[in-house]
Structure 1
Amino acid sequence: MKYVLAIDQGTTSTRAILFDAAMQPVATEQMEFTQHFPKSGWVEHDPNDLLNTTLKTCKDVIANHGITADDVTAIGITNQRETTLVWDKTTGKAVHNAIVWQDRRTAPFCAELKAEGFESEITHRTGLLADPYFSGTKLRHILQTQDNSQNLLFGTVDSFLIWHLTEGRVHATDATNASRTMLYNIRVGAWDEVICTRFDIPMHMLPDVRDCAADFGSTTLFGGNIPILGVAGDQQAATIGQACFDPGMMKSTYGTGCFALLNTGDTLVTSQNRLLGTIAYQFNGQPTYALEGSIFVAGAVVQWLRDGLKLLANAPESQPMAEAADPEQNLYMVPAFTGLGAPYWDADSRGAIFGLTRNSGPNEFARAALESVGYQTRDLIEAMHADGAPTDGENVLRVDGGMAASDWTMQFLSDILGAAVDRPHVLETTALGAAWLAGMRAGLYPTQDEFAKTWTGETRFTPKMDGATRDAKYAGWQDAIKRTLTT
């Protein structure tokens, strides 16, 4: 039996998942790690945590499944995007904590870029906006803490892991992760000298950019030689795992944040509604583009109810609490803990709850938290429609991620969108996407067209809410957003 090992390095945990020759997940190991919040709006990870949890989960999943490295055909990597690391190429040691994608410390520099009119250059070249979310301004911040950059290397998490897994032999990334840095010109497929110059970033630090299915070297750290053959940022990996290969197909992933990607084929859509143009995947040097909406807080709002307010013991409790909430109360929770993402991009906005009464309690908080995910998703889809993005004609959203397991949340999502929501049989679509890239490159897994035929849905949620109620509830959300925005 042959296997593919998928490394899914996320924002709050690292997972190693073994997929068998039939692309089914058969074994998983997971480790959470500490989140660091040095100041309000700042989020960091210890780079050693990212590496050590990766090594530990990979070794454990191989050992606990009773196989050896010889049984693993290839490794695929998917990762939290935009999170920024800088390390010394001689020692391999990071010179600064990883600055996480949620971090907002570079907001003043982004405001400076907007004031001088440079944001239009960034959008034209990279498809992105001048926002602290992306890697480029984070890298600039780290470099300002260093005396000399000559011996330093930059990477998103995939690059950092590849460099260490190959013991310093390969410094590379894939096109999807590169497209999230604010430094990569997605029109020409190269690091952008104009932007790097404006950010004072020496280009010798930047990794080689490769296709999603490509040779990223090999590792011997798990007891044998295993090639690394697939890499994609987590949201693009989920798009691949959901087999959204045709223009107009759309998926939404509900993890720490929520990210909706709409395949736009070979057309790079320039959004008029502050959505992002990005690379969905790249094969044989040819990029397929996507329009993306990014929500910073989705599953993290349930985590906040659990860890911050202590209103529930575990995330699954949120569903029965939401079901038990008083239907007469209309609470709106805007989870702008680290600002608002698309389509608002308000870095200074902070969370708020509207509609509180003396009768509001934990159940109402849980319902408002889950509903916020549906409202934010509708914001993204409304913006995509306004941009004239292609649609597949079926009006179906494919969903995945931890929150997609909640029937209540997915039903509300369908209700507030007025659209069908498809949940797949394999919820591990992010890891599946990474595994398929590596397995396909190795010749173990089917081609793109054949892989698309294997996608099957587990549950389809269809709207049950009447149109008048849907419109009234969404109008209430829009009012709450207006009260929260700072600009």
Structure 2
Amino acid sequence: MSYTLAIDQGTQSSRAVLFDSEGEIVARQQQAISINRIKKDHVEQDAEEILNSVKKVIDYLLSELSSAQRKSISACGICTQRSSVVACDRQGQALSPVIGWQDTRESEWLHSLRNDQETIQSISGLPLTPHYGASKLRWLNGQVTTRNDNQMLLAPLVSYLLLNLINENSFFIDHSNAQRTQLMDIQTLDWSATLLGIFNVPQSSLPKCKPVVFSYGDLLDTGIKVQAVCGDQNAVFSGAGNGGFGIAVLNLGTGAFIMCLQSQRPLHGNLLTTIIKSDDQAAVYALEGTVNGAGSALNWANEKYDLGDLKVQLPGWLASVDHPPVFINSIGGIGSPWWANHITPQFFDDSGNERQHGKAEIAVAVIESIVFLIMDNLSLMQQDNAIKRIQVSGGLSSLDGLCQKLANLSGL
């Protein structure tokens, strides 16, 4: 029996899962990590805490296994949260906090690039928004200094982790995470001199671009070969069996991300072209829509209104509340296809007025806002692709009421 080790570094936790050759889970470990919402547009995490959490879940999982099982692990794959970045030195020491994918501190500066937004999207496949890594990397390059004259590296989170987890001490990034910096040309699959110039990011500080499927090296001192690296949502798509044309893959986590295989460049510039996977021969592309406030919107509402144990309460509330208010879900900024920041989250009744609402009404309104935003993206995808089925995963997918509302609206 051979085994595969999967490492998933996400916004709220790090996980290690061991699968056998039949795809069954043999062992798993998970550790929560903290997130620091300094203010509305500043979202940071501790780089060392993230790295240590990854090391711990690997150590704890391997310690559960027999010697024979450890020796039978044939490969390792790593996926990470996308668009989060950190500055570090050549030895892998973090020089800054991780600037999270939800961070939009550079939104005002991005207004100066409005005349370049068509060029930026045509090269990167991504619309101009502060959620992607380019403006964050530019900010780090201007704000962070190195110690002892070491060269500062501008590292997407995955590159920082690989620098510390791979024995060869190599500074790499896979194509799917590189694209999410908004600095990579999705046709050449390498850094774009044009985009680097627009965002004023030095290529010498960036990692080398590699395929998703690539021999990255040995994981720490385990001798386990890291054979694939990608973004977390890209891994979801692959984990769903890559679907096929006509199937949309939806992951409901901190944010909600919906993808479908792409046969041509999108006709709608407010959706994304995403690299699902690549090897040394070719790349596979998908059309993607993003909703920034899914699980994070529920967390926001719980903190603000003290909603209680949502895991227990939500199923009943979804079944009983028929007329919740409308929630303007701008948690983390409104993503595709609207791409709007600086909008205050608000609840409105049928007459368009703000008023006090009960806890059940608030929670269901947040759920419905997630569904409505997913539908905005799905409706555009439907114009270019005959979508016949939605495959749903992620923590919120356990809510039958949410899935039923989505099925009702989409007719799928």
Q: Is the 8 A contact 1:69 1:225 kept in 2?
A: no
Match of 2:19 in 1: 19
Cα gap change, 1:169 to 1:145, in 2 (>3 Å) = same
Question: 1:150 offset after TM fit, Å?
Answer: 6.7
Determine the C-alpha separation between the residues in 2 that align with 1:174 and 1:378: 30
Cα gap change, 1:87 to 1:168, in 2 (>3 Å) = farther
Q: Is the 8 A contact 2:15 2:28 kept in 1?
A: yes
Determine the C-alpha separation between the residues in 2 that align with 1:167 and 1:2: 23
Equivalent residue letter for 2:337: P
Match of 1:437 in 2: none
Determine the C-alpha separation between the residues in 2 that align with 1:112 and 1:168: 40
Note if 1:322 corresponds to 2:322: no
Match of 2:274 in 1: 278
Equivalent residue letter for 1:78: C
1:406 to 399, 402, 408: 399
Runs of 4+ in 1 over 4 A off after TM superposition: 65-68, 147-150, 356-359
Cα gap change, 1:37 to 1:359, in 2 (>3 Å) = closer
Equivalent residue letter for 2:254: T
Equivalent residue letter for 1:276: L
Following superposition of structure 1 onto structure 2, how do residues 318-467 of structure 1 map, counting pairs within 5 Å? 318-325=314-321, 327=322, 329-355=323-349, 360-386=357-383, 389-391=384-386, 395-419=388-412
Cα gap change, 1:83 to 1:357, in 2 (>3 Å) = closer
Question: Where does structure 2 lack aligned partners over 5 or more consecutive residues?
Answer: none
Question: 1:374 offset after TM fit, Å?
Answer: 1.2
Determine the C-alpha separation between the residues in 2 that align with 1:109 and 1:99: 16
Q: Is the 8 A contact 1:339 1:350 kept in 2?
A: no
- Cα RMSD of the aligned pairs, angstroms, is 2.0
Match of 1:161 in 2: 161
Question: 1:97 offset after TM fit, Å?
Answer: 0.5
DSSP-derived class of the 1:43 partner = strand
Question: 1:324 offset after TM fit, Å?
Answer: 2.9
Report the count of equivalent residues.
406
Match of 1:469 in 2: none
Cα gap change, 1:323 to 1:245, in 2 (>3 Å) = closer
Q: Is the 8 A contact 1:3 1:19 kept in 2?
A: yes
Cα gap change, 1:358 to 1:264, in 2 (>3 Å) = closer
Determine the C-alpha separation between the residues in 1 that align with 2:9 and 2:326: 32
Question: 1:268 offset after TM fit, Å?
Answer: 2.9
Cα gap change, 1:268 to 1:282, in 2 (>3 Å) = farther
Question: 1:396 offset after TM fit, Å?
Answer: 0.7
Q: Which of the pair has the greater relative contact order for Cα pairs under 8 Å at 6+ separation? A: 1
1:206-227 CA-to-partner distances (Å, cap 9, x unmatched) read 2222222210111234xx3111
Cα gap change, 1:253 to 1:316, in 2 (>3 Å) = farther
Determine the C-alpha separation between the residues in 2 that align with 1:357 and 1:39: 24
Following superposition of structure 1 onto structure 2, how do residues 51-450 of structure 1 map, counting pairs within 5 Å? 51-66=51-66, 69-90=70-91, 92-114=92-114, 117-147=115-145, 151-167=151-167, 169-221=169-221, 224-265=222-263, 267-272=264-269, 274-325=270-321, 327=322, 329-355=323-349, 360-386=357-383, 389-391=384-386, 395-419=388-412
TM-score (norm 2): 0.93
Q: Is the 8 A contact 1:169 1:217 kept in 2?
A: no
Question: Where does structure 1 lack aligned partners over 5 or more consecutive residues?
Answer: 420-487
DSSP-derived class of the 1:215 partner = strand
DSSP-derived class of the 2:42 partner = coil
Give identity over the alignment, percent: 27
Q: Is the 8 A contact 1:252 1:261 kept in 2?
A: yes
Question: 1:334 offset after TM fit, Å?
Answer: 2.1
Equivalent residue letter for 1:6: A
Determine the C-alpha separation between the residues in 1 that align with 2:403 and 2:346: 23
TM-score (norm 1): 0.79
Determine the C-alpha separation between the residues in 2 that align with 1:321 and 1:8: 32
Greater shift in the superposed pair: 189-198 or 304-313: 304-313
Equivalent residue letter for 2:71: D
Equivalent residue letter for 1:379: D
1:7-34 CA-to-partner distances (Å, cap 9, x unmatched) read 1100111111111111112222111111
